[in-house]
């Protein structure tokens, strides 16, 4: 594959939850679009797309249309249709096997890990973003050792509680940093014993941070509390961070806050 690709803003063309493309100046060209799809799709969907392309004779192959029609992820059918349009315009004689080879090459390279916008509430076509509720669950599932979660308020959020139950069943250590004045801890009373709940030591300030950190590699940081409305219908804004250096510094800061000798947080 070519070296680093420069970026143009294609976000206005892609509805709903399409992640920001890593390329830009090449946007609208076949290699760039294949790279965008690689960046967006999980591994199993990448494999399915590669398999379909390998069997396609060209951009007019009806198997492509059937594959596109079967895609339900927001904005994906549009993105695939745009790929076919560019394929038809730029290289109509190129076989699907050739595109599959290029796509397989992209899959062999490390995936980029840019920050990703996360929102709650109305989701327009102009911003490539994902919904808070789904991303929060994914971050929890990505943990292999520990989860650190902070929220000023918590209510309902049954899907999050269920994900935490599954995480605890996998042996994940869970620390919940919750604001005591909002009685946020009551939302997690169904969790098994062993979950560590922390409150702010009496002071003039409150615990107002909202984040979910999986191990030291991924964090969801934003305005949303762990409430049903904040995760779905409120207008909220956040970002997923996958830069280990940033996530580690954030986790280290909150681990320091939890140190008993600092008298900042206490076990509930």
Whether residues 104 and 175 share a domain: the answer is no
User: Is residue 4 situated within a structural domain?
Assistant: no
Q: Give the residue numbers spanning the domain of 65.
A: 14-108
**Does residue 198 lie in a domain region?**
yes
**Do 104 and 66 belong to one domain?**
yes
Question: Residues 126, 223: one domain?
Answer: yes
- Going from the C-alpha of 220 to that of each of 76, 89, 93, 134, 164, the distances in angstroms are 23, 40, 44, 11, 15
Please identify, among 81, 108, 135, the residue that sits at the C-terminal boundary of a domain: 108
Q: Are residues 39 and 123 in the same domain?
A: no
Output the pLDDT for position 112: 55
d(CA 7, CA 36): 11
**Overall average pLDDT of the 27-46 stretch:** 79
Q: Which of 75, 108, 141 is the last residue of a domain?
A: 108
| Ramachandran class of 16: left when φ > 0, alpha when ψ lies in -120 to 50, beta otherwise | left
> 169 pLDDT band (50/70/90 cuts)?
very high
- Whether residue 154 is contained in a domain is answered as yes
Q: Does 99 lie in the same domain as 21?
A: yes
| Structure-block tokens of residue 249 | 């510094």
Residue 23 lies in a domain: yes
**Residues 126 and 255 grouped into a single domain:** yes
Whether residue 201 is contained in a domain is answered as yes
How many CA atoms lie within 13 Å of 193's alpha carbon, on the beta-carbon side?
0
User: How does residue 182 score in pLDDT terms, banded at 50, 70 and 90?
Assistant: very high
pLDDT tens track for 86-120: 999 999 999 999 999 988 887 777 665 778 899 99
Is 92 part of a structural domain of the chain? yes
The 10s digit of each residue's pLDDT in 185-244 is: 999 999 988 899 999 998 779 999 999 999 999 999 999 999 999 999 999 999 999 988
108, 125, 141 - which closes a domain: 108
80 and 136 together in one domain = no
Q: Residues 60, 61, 62, 67: is their CA dihedral positive or negative? A: negative
Letter string b/e over residues 8-21, b meaning 16 or more CB atoms within 10 A of that residue's CB: eebbebbbbbbbbb
- Do 127 and 169 fall within a single domain? yes
Say if residue 131 is in the same domain as residue 86. no
- Give percent of the chain above pLDDT 90: 65
Prediction pTM value: 0.60
pLDDT band at residue 124 under the 50/70/90 scheme: confident
In a domain, 9, yes or no: no
Q: What is the DSSP string of 29-98?
A: SHHHHHHHHHHHS-HHHHHHHHHHHHH--STT-HHHHHHHHT--STTHHHHHHHHHHHHHHH-TT--HHH
Q: Answer yes or no: is pLDDT of 174 > 90.
A: yes
Whole-number mean pLDDT of the chain? 86
Residues 171 and 258 in one domain: yes
Counting the structural domains of the chain, the total is 2
Residues 98, 141, single domain; the answer is no
The answer as to whether 7 is a domain residue is no
Do 104 and 121 sit in the same domain of this protein?
no
């Amino acid at each position: 594959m070519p070296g680093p690709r420069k970026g143009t803003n294609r976000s206005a063309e892609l509805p709903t939850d399409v992640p920001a493309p890593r390329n830009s100046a090449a946007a609208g060209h076949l290699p760039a679009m294949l790279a965008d799809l690689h960046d967006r799709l999980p591994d199993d969907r990448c494999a399915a797309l590669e398999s379909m392309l390998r069997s396609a004779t060209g951009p007019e192959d009806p198997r492509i249309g059937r594959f596109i029609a079967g895609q339900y992820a927001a904005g994906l059918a549009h993105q695939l249709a745009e790929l076919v349009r560019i394929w038809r315009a730029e290289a109509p004689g190129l076989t699907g096997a050739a595109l599959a080879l290029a796509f397989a090459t992209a899959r062999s390279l490390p995936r980029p890990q840019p920050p990703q916008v996360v929102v709650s509430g109305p989701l327009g076509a102009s911003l490539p973003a994902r919904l808070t509720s789904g991303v929060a669950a994914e971050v929890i599932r990505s943990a292999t050792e520990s989860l650190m979660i902070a929220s000023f308020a918590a209510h309902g959020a049954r899907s999050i509680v269920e994900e935490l139950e599954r995480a605890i069943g996998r042996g994940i250590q869970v620390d919940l940093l919750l604001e005591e004045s909002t009685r946020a801890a009551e939302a997690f009373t169904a969790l098994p014993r062993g979950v560590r709940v922390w409150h702010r030591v009496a002071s003039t300030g409150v615990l107002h941070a909202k984040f979910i950190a999986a191990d030291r590699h991924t964090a969801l940081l934003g305005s949303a509390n762990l409430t049903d409305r904040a995760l779905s219908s409120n207008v909220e804004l956040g970002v997923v961070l996958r830069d280990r250096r940033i996530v580690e510094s954030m986790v280290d800061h909150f681990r320091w806050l939890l140190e008993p000798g600092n008298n900042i947080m206490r076990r509930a």
